[in-house]
């Protein structure tokens, strides 16, 4: 069972990822900056514990 905050955070991250990937595919000038922001958000969300998985092998993949 996920809390509302976790669900909103995950949905926001998915939207940010799709936007970033779209801008990268279109070769827009601001795409690199948005991708850096997306990576920083991912690291922050992971370190806060919102991306813990029930599969322990995914923890290593997230760290990489």
| pLDDT tens per residue, range 12-64 | 888 989 999 999 999 999 899 999 998 898 888 778 776 666 666 666 666 66
Can you give the pLDDT at residue 18? 94
pLDDT at 25: 94
CB of 45 closer than 8 Å to CB of 17: no
**Residues 38 and 15: beta-carbon distance below 8 Å:** no
Q: Which pLDDT value is given to residue 15?
A: 93
pLDDT at 3 over 90: no
């Amino acid at each position: 069972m996920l809390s509302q905050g976790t669900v909103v955070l995950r949905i926001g991250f998915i939207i940010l990822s799709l936007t970033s990937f779209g801008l990268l595919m279109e070769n827009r000038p601001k795409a690199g900056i948005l991708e850096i922001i997306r990576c920083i958000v991912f690291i922050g969300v992971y370190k806060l514990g919102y991306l813990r998985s029930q599969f322990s092998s995914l923890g290593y993949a997230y760290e990489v």
